[in-house]
Amino acid sequence: MNKPVNNADLKNEPKNDFIRNIIREDVKAEKYKQIVTRFPPEPNGYLHLGHVKSICLNFGVAEEFGGICHLRYDDTNPTAEKQDYIDNIKTDVQWLGFEWAGEALHASSYFDQLHAWAVQLIEQGDAYVDLQTPEQIKDNRGSFNEVGKPSPQREASVEDNLKLFDDMKNGKYADGKAVLRAKINMSDANMNLRDPIIYRVMHQEHHQTGDKWCIYPMYDFAHPLSDAHEGITHSICTLEFEDHRPFYDWIVAKIGFDIPPHQYEFSRLNVDHTLTSKRKLKQLVDENIVSGWDDPRMPTIAGMRRRGYTPEGLRDFCDRVGVTKADSVVDMRLLEFSIRQSLDDTTARGMAVLKPLKVTITNFDEAVEEWETLKADSVNARFDKDSQTLWLTQPKHPNVEDMGEREIPFTKDLYIDQGDYELEPPAGYKRLSPEKSEIRLRNTYVLAVTEHVLDDAGNVTELKATIDPTTLGQNPEGRKVKGVIHWVSASQGIPATVRLYEQLFSVEDPSSVSDVHEALNPNSLTELSAVVEPSLVAADAGTRFQFEREGYFISDAVEHSNETPVFNQIVSLRDSYKPA
């Protein structure tokens, strides 16, 4: 597995991989007037993490070498494609920080030209209409150990094939009753060259062309010809298309182009515990296993955006993974490392108690009376008598002054996290327990627990404590306390829903499991009734924060409001990765 290299800074390192080296040589040889790439998704689902690498590569090399990159929808299958998918692909690409040349393109815009090229192939004797059933075509294709059997229509005349293809176009055949096949070699070792189907009958309205067509080109036919038609110089795709390249080259050569495109393959992005099959991801959506394509647990770009991942972090992740021809599985913690790196200096701080335990400060009134005389110059605070609240002013970020300041309410009743007080603490525990009663409340006083209250089941339900008035924001001489915990005012804090996430799949390779349900992690989502400081709720939906001592979170872009705050966990504060 690829593993994160801590503190590595890749921003200023030149990108160097085999595709960029090829392009450098082409530029040096002046092979093309301009480098032209494309990102060509089929709009049959939402884009996922695997597409991020392809987007970064195609748009990235075009930018690096002064070229352009097209966004083209290879929309040749109207039964699986939707306008929603088309719209979201545009949003995803732009959110990642890229812009395509001109208007977004559609393979469907070339249907007239693709049909004309299909006719050209028939006229050249390079294509024929096959009237076998789909089952017969499949059976006669042969196998790796057995050559294929030619169709009974394979040697039909050009005139007959032109007539049959025209009948297909005019709706005289039902779905599955006729196809157009390229005439190559039924004995070729490469199964993709055994007279592949290039057109099929499909009585289906298309989202772009309406009911104009009842025949549609196959992807392997439309894709290379769309590349050639657009003047693509470097057709970059993943390794599973390597065996398709001979047909790519064959069809482009048969039609004839002055400067044909060339296909280059790189290894797809495989991340552990992650599924990148649009078909299986759609199954999760259709069966309501997740809340939608943008569920924060989903490896879709929409899901990662709602989860709070940053485009900078995703681009950095792709840079760290690199571009090779060797298949590998990347450790998910490398992705989290990149996201965490992008968040540290860009997110305001705040306090949120995810599992509240009430603390009553029994000497709060006395401490406040001494506040005016004991307050340090370094402490910026004000006391509101009506609400009995000491408002503490703190920076939103300890190292970024431009983020400004926030006010934190400190009151007699507080919440700390349940995990910060243990009746029987484990070894090395440095927070509160019956044996260790003192700790610093972040940005405020040293607190000493004097009593804990138990329920009938023996669980701690409340702490009684005192604060040292001389310790507000400082450590007087001889008063050193180890350990700092976060807290939230019980009366001024805001109830909020906080969602914690684990990986959606419990198995390292969910694609290896035949039934996707068996790979699901039952603990992928945990919802907590938390309490947060007021400054967190006041922010707009889609704002990222660091919850001190808890992790990075984002106010949910869909459900968050001031009245019903909802926060999604982005990533933990620290990388759990340990070098071998």
Q: Which of 177, 254, 268, 549 is catalytic?
A: 268
> Distance of alpha carbon 392 from its chain centroid, rounded?
38
479 is catalytic: no
Q: Which tokens hold the place of 504?
A: 């959606």
Q: What does the pLDDT average to over 516-543?
A: 95
Amino acid identity for residue 557 in this structure: A
DSSP assignments along 265-312, one per residue: EE----BTT----HHHHHHHHHTTSSSSTT-TTS-BHHHHHHHT--HH
214 to each of 122, 172, 339, 548, how far by Cα in Å?
19, 10, 46, 59
Asked whether 349 and 548 are in contact (CB, 8 A), the reply is yes
The span from the first CA to the last CA of the chain, in angstroms, equals 12
| Model-wide pTM > 0.85 | yes
Considering only residues 9 and 110, tell me which one the structure prediction assigns the higher pLDDT. 110
Q: Residue 4's pLDDT is what? A: 38
Task: Name the 3-class secondary structure at 461.
Answer: strand
Taking each helix axis as running N to C, give the angle between helix 111-123 and helix 245-255, from 0 to 180 degrees, rounded to the nearest 10: 80
DSSP 360-377: EETTHHHHHHHHHHH--T
- Determine the pLDDT at residue 470: 86
pLDDT digits over 363-399, tens only?
Answer: 999 998 887 776 656 578 899 999 999 999 999 999 9
Token pair, residue 215, equals 């025949």
Q: Is 22 helix (H, G, I), strand (E, B) or coil?
A: helix
User: CA-CA distance, 217 to 196, in Å (whole number)?
Assistant: 12
Identity at 117, one-letter amino acid code: W
- Answer yes or no: 268 catalytic: yes
Question: Tens of pLDDT along 347-363?
Answer: 999 999 999 999 999 99
Which residues, 6+ apart, have CB-to-CB distance to 144 below 8 Å?
Answer: 189, 191
Cβ contact 374:470 at 8 Å: yes
- Average pLDDT (418-436) is 93
**Mean pLDDT, range 17-34, rounded to an integer:** 96
Residue 181 is among the residues annotated as catalytic for this protein: no
Of 360, 361, 382, nearest to 371 by C-alpha is 382
Predicted local distance difference test score (pLDDT) of residue 63: 96
Q: Which of 183, 200, 278, 349 is catalytic?
A: 278
Supply the DSSP symbol for 34: S
